[in-house]
A = this chain, B = another copy of it.
Amino acid sequence: MAYPKLPSRSENFAEWYNQVVLRAELADYAPVRGCMVVRPYGWALWENIQKALDARFKATGHQNAAFPLLIPLSFFEKEKEHVEGFAPELAVVTHGGGKKLEEPLAVRPTSETIIGYMWSKWIRSYRDLPMLLNQWGNVVRWELRTKLFLRTLEFYWQEGHTAHATRAEAEEETLRMLRVYEDFAVNEAAIPVIPGQKSESEKFAGAVHTYTIEAMMGDTKALQAGTSHFLGQNFARAFDIQFLDRDNQMKYVWTTSWGLSTRFIGAIIMVHGDDQGLVLPPRLAPIQVVIVPIWRDDAQQSQVLEVARRLHAALASRFRVHLDDRDHVTPGFKFNDWEMRGVPVRVEIGPRDIAQQVAVLARRDIPGKAGRQTAPWEGLPERVADLLDEIHANMLRKATAFRDAHIQRPDSYAALGEAVQQGWALAGWCGRAECEARIKADFKATNRCLPFEAHRPAEAPDRCIVCGEPARHWAFFAKAY
């Protein structure tokens, strides 16, 4: 009993990705085109992502709520850019309870409109502000080209929605939540991200500004891993959300929205995975430590299992541990199986280890002998805790080094074309949509973001890499998911 080998990442990254998702049992294809089933291992990963984010949202004063799935179609007409962006992607309910509905209902693709409608009823005074809400849920967008986790008709996400008395407060909130995403990506998922602003052509339909965290995948493509939108008063005006301010004037609120979705699981797979399969970041991994007992005969089996259970008990209060006591597959099969599933630490325990009161710790992020060490039973939990931290740090270091090695600063339009075949290009840009469009047409690369200060050269950009006019921004161009 053995799995056929995975395709290698260098040969066929797309096929490697699909196979990893299916074989690791993260997700499967649903019977409806473009929909997915998130299987228990994938959902446990999402639950850990939820916990890490939800704690950050609550620490910054947000509360969860639940708004309806079904939204009157007419709501989308109220904000001009929003309807242009979302109308082509809507799934529409036309019948309910055996009858044709008077007004068709959209299955929500995002909830700015329905939340705006409710806010117009709830918000009366400056005392009701800021309104800091978040929703965990599912949304549907009728996408044509789909891929498990990365782009599915239905996906799971959180969408934060906030309303404020002043523009400054709303802008501050927009950036605060982008920083929350950045902190989460780096410190929980070991994914280095570049925060920045989206250009006009790439921003959210209905936003004044969109901010993004962009991550580089293992094939050097970019993935937008989370976004935060400053919506100005666009939705406030569309849904008439006014409040009586301290100065006794009626004013429109300023709103924001921000979201991170199950796409992020795709980023985890593609940033960290290797030819053996998943490599999961320790702080999010559903199983952080797997214990594999090794025996040759029945007498050894009962002795080894007894010790394995003791080690499991010693570790289980601090870590998510699994003891693989299956007796119909070999230890070698188990090693491959858990490597494919990306478990950060494997604890091997056999008769010889027992004689010495030790176990072997093998780390997933460093394959082979270099990643193996012997550890005494005494103090094992502390050793494992340190090891998980080291693995996190090493994964982050590796991903950062890989990304930085694949960013170029081309000095000509032709060089930009070359650069985006092998990674990202950081270049000056005049700010005009025509120049972005030309890059897209010529090289299939898009403007990923105008990076914040920490991620761009100290000097101002000189010329637009496309038209040669004076540059207004530094911008990252790359092929993207």
A71 at the B interface (CB under 8 A): yes
Instruction: Specify the chain B residue showing the minimal Cβ separation from A137.
Output: B138
**Distance of A43 Cα from B63 Cα, bound (Å):** 9
| Interface-located stretch among A4-12, A91-99, A306-314, A459-467 | A91-99
**Interface residue? A77 (CB, 8 A):** no
A100 to B20, CA, bound (A): 34
When the two chains form the complex, which single residue of B35, B47, B69, B92 contacts A68, counting CB atoms closer than 8 Å? B35
A171 on the B face (CB < 8 A):
no
Residues A30 and B105 in contact, CB atoms below 8 Å apart:
no
Q: Are B36 and A68 in contact (CB-based, < 8 A)?
A: yes
A40 close to B93 (CB less than 8 A): no
Number of copies: 2
Comparing A113-121, A172-180, A248-256, A350-358, the segment that makes contact with chain B is A113-121
A residues 123-153 touching B (CB-CB < 8 Å): 127, 133, 137-138, 140, 142-144, 153
CA–CA, A43 and B58, complex, Å: 13
Flag whether A413 is at the interface (Cβ < 8 A).
no
- Cβ contact within 8 Å between A32 and B154: no
- Sorting the interface of chain A by its residue count into under 10, 10 to 19, 20 to 34 or 35 or more gives 35 or more
Is A410 an interface residue, CB under 8 A from the partner?
no
29 A-B pairs (CB sep. < 8 Å): A28-B121, A30-B114, A30-B118, A31-B71, A31-B72, A31-B75, A32-B70, A35-B69, A35-B70, A37-B65, A37-B67, A37-B68, A38-B66, A39-B65, A40-B65, A40-B133, A43-B63, A43-B64, A69-B69, A69-B140, A89-B97, A90-B96, A91-B97, A93-B107, A94-B94, A94-B95, A95-B104, A96-B142, A137-B138
Q: Which listed residue (B43, B72, B88, B154) contacts A69, Cβ 8 A?
A: B154
**In the assembly, what is the distance between CA of A407 and CA of B45, in Å?**
48
A154 to B328, CA, bound (A): 45
Q: Is the pair A127, B37 in contact by a Cβ cutoff of 8 Å?
A: no
Chain B residues lying within 8 Å of A138, measured Cβ to Cβ, are 66, 69, 137-138
Q: By CB atoms of chain B within 10 A, which of A47, A69, A328 has the most? A: A69
Q: Report chain B residues within 8 Å CB of A67.
A: 30, 37
Cross-chain contact A44 with B64 (CB below 8 angstroms): yes
Chain A, 47-89, contact with B by CB distance < 8 Å: what is the 0/1 string? 1000000000000000111111111100100000000000111
Question: With A and B bound together, what is the CA distance between A35 and B93 in angstroms?
Answer: 14
Tell me if A184 is interfacial: C-beta within 8 Å of chain B: no
Q: Given the complex, which residues of B lie within 8 Å of A104, measured CB to CB?
A: 95
Determine the residue in chain B with the shortest Cβ distance to A75: B31
Looking at the assembled complex, report how far the CB atom of A131 sits from the nearest CB atom of chain B, in whole angstroms: 10
Shortest distance between the CB of A50 and any CB in chain B (Å): 11
